[in-house]
Amino acid sequence: MRVIIAEKPSVARDIAKVLDIKASKKGFIEGRGCAVTWAFGHLVTLQEPGEYDPALKRWSLDTLPFVPEEFKLKLISNRGVAEQFQIIKKLCKQAEEIVCATDAGREGELIFRYVLALSNCETKPIRRLWLNSLTPDAIRAAFKDLKDGHDFDPLYAAARCRSESDWIVGLNATRYYTVRHGRIGTGNDRVLWTIGRVQTPVLAMIVERDDTILQFRPQPFWECSTRYREVLFKYTGKRFEKEAKAQDLLEKITNQDFKITAITAKKKKEQAPQLFDLTSLQRELNKLHGISAADTLTATQSLYEAKLVTYPRTDSRYLSEDMKPRVPKILEQLKAIRSEQIEPLNLKQLPFTKRIINDKKVTDHHAIIPTGMIPRRFGPNEQLVYDAITTQFITAFYPPCLKNITTVDGVSNQVKFQAKGTQIADPGWTVLFPRKKKAAADGQTLPAFEKGETGAHEPFLREGKTMPPKHFSENSLLGAMEAAGKFVEDDTLREALKERGIGTPATRAAIIETLLRRNYIRREKKQLRCTDMGRCLIALIRDPLLKSPEMTGEWEEKLKQIERNELKPDEFMTGIEHYIRNMIQDSNTTQLDRSRWGSCPFCGKEVIKGNKAYGCSDWKEGCTFVLQPDWNGKILSPKQIQILLQQHILPHPIRIDDELRILILSTQGFPMDLRPPSADRQKHTAKPDRP
């Protein structure tokens, strides 16, 4: 008997229908010498420390770090899991061959192999079903091309390393920081500080951005421009930081003629946007409609399971060569709902450029595209996601947008100015995007200038102030995660940096939701902002590598090397074990710098001690930070002042009624009666034996 294991019941039913397997049993479908069964996503997970040794149930610094010699598995505790697992185990024991039909990626492979391991069926012959979509044709084609399951051993090795390294770093760091920094006063309650190999660097990025904005001090500047024949010309030099210098330039050109010195016209070709991978799709939906990354993934997964789009958890924006014959058929089918947009395309001679077809840029899965099946109904957000994917797919085959860009150079009393104008010669692909078409057409219309012409002009100054960077949105945070903290808008540069991203396309949305759920960040409209809890956690973590996006990006790259069989799993795990041991050892030896008070939380300059309070050394330049050591009659010691300032726990003025702020102080040995009573305190705490 052949046993086929799918990741979800709905996928199992689709496979059974295509294979004409019809006899429904409890937990599986049987017929034609096959049994199709299913998991519920993850059924199996790694055991907890207390299951290796009961003594490890108690959280203690003495037992850290704990790294098992061999990791052991157990069933997750969700309802119905044990019963379904026993059905799968029984079928696997009877099987002559087992087919892995879970999602075709790292986590899907892990789900299948963990089930196999806990069933003691790892020696059974295994095959791999690799699906890019769930249409009947795709399922039939994949079954005709079943792979040897052991061809995917490197993928499983990478998945196992991801699982075990997250366990090692997350569990040990969480226990360490909770035990060392989580005690509240003399009671038994603790603050639960949860640490993650991936989530903590992401939180650090948000905290750093928010603190940069908080510490930002606007600086005035002046820009010089002039109007000649109703056209705005801008001064080609740098803007001025001193008004007097700007006024000098203005006086130099006032009542002087303006002369056109050069006119340059060039054509610009703007290519159609590339097909979507998951991250670019999530960013687009967040930017245009404010949909969260998690909700976009959920909607795309639903569309995939409804056979309307291809596999969503992809990091590729290209199609493979073997897709060429299928593309015209998909577009022909889509005419039923997009006839006006598809009609201009010659389906017999589509422009398959390297921006669309590139085998070298397709790894496990190609870009997300529609399958050609026509939707009947949609759930929440599914309409917006489907429309975005379909429009992007059609757009890829449209001609480029052609622009005529004219640059006019002018001079007044040897001071150089420049004006630019843009006209759309051929809108090309932008006709499918009214907003982008309007943006492309924006810009002043230039009259017919002649080189050497002169005339009067109207020079003027504009005063402005420098602006801080923007708070992260999900769109910009996903871009930063994709580029390992080096957030860039340019698609080409982002592609080059993708190999060093934080997390994977499939996990980035979950990381953001985890930080939200743990109250380390919060949503404010489209912005993602750190909370006091999140800022405090990053302040407590002294190890820079644990907060480093670049380091986490390197770990992700090593996992990809394991997938490609270029790195041995043991080498990676040895590095993770050495890292967690060094992290705990170095954190235990962290010392305060007794020679200084610390840095100003507003501007970063050194703090100095005055007669009655502590303040910023840059007070003469306007920094207003002051820290009073006398709180409700209690005097903070010099050591407590250094803890507050050197560990960056004070990002803005302290409020005595801020419970969390006082809770933070209590973890550092501050007087407990500074902490006001509150019925809400339990939401910040957890029992030490049940983190």
* Residue where the block lists tokens 């300059």: 605
- Identify any residues that bridge with 46 across adjacent strands, giving them in sequence order: 73
Tell me the per-residue pLDDT of 112-167, one tens digit each, with 9 for 90 and over: 999 999 999 999 999 999 998 899 999 999 999 999 999 999 999 999 999 999 99
Confidence band (pLDDT; 50, 70, 90) for 67?
Answer: very high
Residue 336 has pLDDT above 70, yes or no: yes
Res 485: pLDDT? 52
Element (H, E) at 235: strand 231-235
Res 625: pLDDT? 81
Helix 508-517 × helix 474-482 angle, to 10°: 130
Q: What angle do CA 275, 512, 163 make, to 5 degrees?
A: 90
Short-list 464, 11, 412, CA closest to 240: 464
Q: Which long-range contacts (CB under 8 A, 24 or more apart) does 575-583 make?
A: 576/164, 576/165, 576/168, 576/169, 577/65, 577/67, 577/168, 579/169, 579/545, 580/65, 580/67, 580/168, 580/169, 580/172, 580/173, 581/65, 583/173, 583/543, 583/545, 583/546
Amino acid making up residue 601: P
Q: What is the mean pLDDT of residues 83-101?
A: 97
Res 681: pLDDT? 35
CB 601 within 8 A of CB 215: yes
Short-list 363, 345, 367, 337, CA closest to 273: 367
Pairwise CA distance, residues 109 & 155, whole Å: 7
Pairwise CA distance, residues 323 & 320, whole Å: 6
Strands 73-75 and 44-46: antiparallel
Pairwise CA distance, residues 527 & 40, whole Å: 33
Pairwise CA distance, residues 241 & 244, whole Å: 9
Res 490: pLDDT? 52
Counting every residue, how long is the chain?
691
Active-site annotation holds for 311 = yes
Q: Which residues contact 496 (CB under 8 A, 6 or more apart)?
A: none
Confidence band (pLDDT; 50, 70, 90) for 445?
Answer: confident
Most distant pair of Cα atoms in the chain: their distance: 96
CB 320 within 8 A of CB 362: yes
Element (H, E) at 234: strand 231-235
Cis peptide bond upstream of 65, omega within 30: yes
Pairwise CA distance, residues 235 & 242, whole Å: 16
**Euclidean distance between the first and the last CA atom of the chain, given in angstroms as a whole number:** 45
Q: Which of 32-41, 177-186, 550-559, 656-665 has the lowest mean pLDDT?
A: 656-665
CB 115 within 8 A of CB 7: no
Residue 624 has pLDDT above 90, yes or no: no
% of the chain exceeding 70 in pLDDT? 88
Res 283: pLDDT? 95
CB 249 within 8 A of CB 224: yes
Q: What angle do CA 283, 288, 292 make, to 5 degrees?
A: 50
Amino acid making up residue 527: Q
Q: What is the mean pLDDT of residues 177-189?
A: 66
Cα distances (Å, whole numbers) of residue 16 to 28, 34, 83: 10, 9, 21
214 burial level (CB within 10 Å; 0-12, 13-18, 19+): middle
Most confident region among 160-164, 193-197, 481-485 by mean pLDDT: 160-164
Q: Which of 292-306, 447-461, 468-482, 531-545 has the lowest mean pLDDT?
A: 531-545
Q: Which of 237-246, 261-270, 402-411, 443-452 has the lowest mean pLDDT?
A: 443-452
Cα distances (Å, whole numbers) of residue 516 to 88, 293, 510, 520, 650: 35, 13, 10, 6, 22
Residue 653 has pLDDT above 90, yes or no: no
Q: What is the mean pLDDT of residues 100-110?
A: 93
DSSP string, 263-289: EEEEEEEEPPPPPB-HHHHHHHHHHHH
Q: Which of 188-202, 334-348, 662-676 has the lowest mean pLDDT?
A: 662-676
Q: Is the CA virtual torsion 289, 440, 487, 155 positive or negative?
A: positive
Residue 668 has pLDDT above 70, yes or no: no
Q: Give the domains, in start order, of the chain with CATH numbers.
A: 2-40+78-145 (3.40.50.140), 167-215+473-588 (1.10.460.10), 220-271+401-465 (2.70.20.10), 278-395 (1.10.290.10), 607-684 (no CATH)
Res 123: pLDDT? 95
Pairwise CA distance, residues 366 & 330, whole Å: 15
Res 634: pLDDT? 65
Pairwise CA distance, residues 83 & 476, whole Å: 43
Is the pTM for the entire model greater than 0.75? yes
Q: What angle do CA 507, 510, 511 make, to 5 degrees?
A: 85
Helix 278-289 × helix 474-482 angle, to 10°: 160
Confidence band (pLDDT; 50, 70, 90) for 682?
Answer: very low
% of the chain exceeding 90 in pLDDT? 66
Pairwise CA distance, residues 174 & 537, whole Å: 11
Pairwise CA distance, residues 658 & 674, whole Å: 11
Q: What is the mean pLDDT of residues 616-645?
A: 77
Res 543: pLDDT? 85
The phi and psi torsions of 23 (rounded to 5 degrees) equal -80, 105
Res 528: pLDDT? 96
CB 665 within 8 A of CB 632: no
Res 680: pLDDT? 34
Residue 197 has pLDDT above 70, yes or no: yes
Res 569: pLDDT? 97
Res 454: pLDDT? 97
Residue 598 has pLDDT above 70, yes or no: yes
Short-list 326, 397, 394, CA closest to 355: 397
Please tell me which residue, 461 or 489, carries the higher pLDDT value.
461
Tell me the per-residue pLDDT of 569-589, one tens digit each, with 9 for 90 and over: 999 999 999 999 999 888 776
Res 436: pLDDT? 64
Q: What is the mean pLDDT of residues 347-373?
A: 93
Q: Which residues of 642-652 are buried (b: 16+ CB within 10 A; e: fewer)?
A: bbbbbbbbbbe
Pairwise CA distance, residues 306 & 81, whole Å: 25
Please tell me which residue, 595 or 15, carries the higher pLDDT value.
15
Q: Tell me how far the alpha carbon of residue 350 is from its chain's centroid.
A: 34
CB 28 within 8 A of CB 35: yes
CB 252 within 8 A of CB 435: no
Q: Which of 311, 318, 386, 520 is catalytic?
A: 311
Q: What is the mean pLDDT of residues 4-28?
A: 95
Q: Which two tokens stand for residue 581?
A: 């041991």
